[in-house]
A and B are shown apart, each in its own frame.
Chain A
Amino acid sequence: MSRLKAELGEELEAYFVEKRYELIKQVVSRVLKGRRRLTLSDLLDRVFLHRGLGIPIFLALWWALFRFTFDVSAPLSDAIDMFFGWLGDMAHDGIANPWLASFVADGICAGFGSVLVFIPPIFFLFFGLAILEDSGYLARAAFVMDRALYKLGLHGRSFIPMLLGFGCNIPGVMACRTIEREEDRILTILVNPLMSCSARLPVYVLIGGAVLGAYAAAGVYSMYILGIALAVCMALLFRRVIPYFKGRRSVFIMELPVYTRPTVRGLLRHMYERGVLFLKKAGTIIFSVMVVVWFLATHPWSATAGGEVIENSYVAMLGKALEPLVRPLGFDWRAVAALFFGFLAKEIVVETFGILLGVEEEALTSAIAQIFTPVTGLAFMAFTLIYIPCVATIGVIYRETNSVKWTVFAVVYGLLLAYAVAFVIVSVGHALGYP
């Protein structure tokens, strides 16, 4: 063994680092004058890192971010939705050939619309997030929340993405970038879709309202809790079972940078970069899938009378073919079809039921009550929560993991878990004597 190694033994690593710092200290002593004094940054930390107030302050800021994002972006999203709806109508009226009209209106316009409708919330959310990040506050938030998360198998840095997921899984997944270790990053990305995004809410409200009666609100609330519980379980499970995640966890060493005033340029840049990236990768997937779904929903053309009679479409055939699989859960082919469309964007599940049941909004609730029981309704809600992330999210997962393997895994485990949980709900419900 070299004398050096023998002498220093374990301290070998430290030795070289120390020598470098020795030189640096000499340099700095000749170059730097003055002493560190208390700055605004330190004062801010007294507030944001305050033992008692730190977490509440964070939650308050969070709430503000959400409100800001969704309140400001909602009218814009609606406007975009209406615009593409109008465009679609124009296509219907303007194009003589009904097939072409349907393709342009319901395929292309709807496809574009579904991608572009995400832009306002994404851009605004990232703008807000950029403010928190560039100012240096986000590091404080991670510090404050790290304690709790460590025990749950997640990284302190996982907290922000998880919280974002409650609004929309897309920025949630994208925010995982700040997690250093690739393994931890991928793990957080995989469990993020279990955070119940806002698109699923209409489904819960519809089904819950229809079959749970007085317990509707509790039922909806329970979905959020279920999502969190499952995310935690899956995180712990994956860590234990999948070799890839088994390694040592990212250790929590994080610098808290000095607070800085973010520049508008910097903020807009962050917002722009992430928004454009989303459009490019996720957007292409969403768009293509929408076109495919349009095709399946409107063909065979004559049988469906140009997309009017969905029962005769390929989607319905698919639904009916898969019905046996979901019958143990108490779902019928319409549920399958609705879930299938939910793959695009979870909000669509509601509209799909409307079309398939042939009723308008007002009568929808009672119509739903006819095909679901409280137990199967709850199971359906859970299934919607878990089954697969919407296409846009899948697109983003692919973009962030840069791996087909993990994207496929995310989809598959979602389906399996959804089925399992729904089955458990139905079994327990039946065992307790409910229909």
Chain B
Amino acid sequence: MIRVALIGNPNVGKSLIFNNLTGGRAHVGNWPGKTVEKKVGKCVHKGVEMEIVDLPGVYSLTARSVDELIARDFIVEEKPDVVVDIVDASNLERNLYLTVQLIELEANVVVALNKSDLATDMGYEVDAGELSRLLGVPVVPTVATTKQGMEELKDAIVKAARERRKSPLKIDYGKRAEALIERLEELIRKDPMLSQRYPTRWLAVRLLEGDEDVLRKVRSSAIWHEVAEVIG
């Protein structure tokens, strides 16, 4: 059984896609200890069984708000087989911020490029193929309201689960930052507790950014002292 997580900005049509995939049969509850709704559904596609978890709509994975924390923790701790990032084609730039963060988190991302009809209305034209090439992840155009692209999306999910490719996309943070990132990565690799649980580059960047949740996680590790020296 493949474990799939759905994520995306608020208002991108995530609920609709969730319903399209799960046929409306979903178990609704709360995330443990929180007032945020949790939806889990099942889908069977060409003999493959998928469990689909609907993560809260978020603009980023900085883990400051409850929603972001829930989403990020799920991806980092539960390590779903595939993360479907639903991107609003009519609002590409901002939506891709989350996509880029997911790629940095080394999640197995499949992008559902939704609302293509809306983009066209607005005068835009999006080259899904080129987007896929540049991001290094599969991009499936969808129009959730008319269920267009659902079959292709399910195909892509199954394929992604099988292939488990990691996107080669890497953001260049500039010479000085990259040097610090490399030093931090060396340190992180020395601590198996951290390096086995989290992607090293992601952790290093987060440490430099001053991500509170990450700082807390690393503070209790053996390498903290050295790390603190590097990040200052």
Contact = CB atoms under 8 A, between A and B. Distances in A.
B130 interface: yes
Contacts of B67: 180
A19 B174 contact: yes
B142 interface: no
Contacts of B65: 180-181
A217 interface: no
B180 A2 contact: yes
B35 A182 contact: yes
A254 B16 CA distance: 21
Nearest to A181: B65
B193 to A, nearest CB: 24
Summarize A's interface: helix, strand, loop or mixed.
Answer: helix
A402 B30 contact: yes
B171 A19 contact: yes
B124 A24 contact: no
B13 to A, nearest CB: 8
Contact of A31 (B33, B34, B92): B92
B19 A25 contact: no
B19 A401 contact: no
Nearest to A33: B125
A337 B198 CA distance: 61
A427 B173 CA distance: 70
B103 to A, nearest CB: 10
A39 B208 contact: no
A263 B205 contact: no
Interface stretch (A4-12, A223-231, A288-296): A4-12
Contact of B177 (A4, A23, A33, A273): A4
A33 B19 contact: no
A56 B211 CA distance: 44
Contacts of A151: none
A255 B58 CA distance: 12
A278 B209 CA distance: 43
A28 B35 contact: no
Contact of B208 (A16, A30, A400): A16
Interface stretch (B73-81, B93-101, B154-162, B214-222): B93-101
B37 A177 contact: yes
B192 interface: no
Given A5-B232, A36-B123, A269-B24, A20 B34 contact: no
B124 A32 contact: yes
B35 A402 contact: yes
Contact of B125 (A32, A277, A402): A32
A258 interface: yes
Interface of A: 1-7, 12-13, 15-17, 19-21, 23-25, 27-28, 30-37, 39-40, 136, 177, 180-182, 185, 255, 257-258, 260-261, 263, 265-266, 269, 273, 277, 400-402
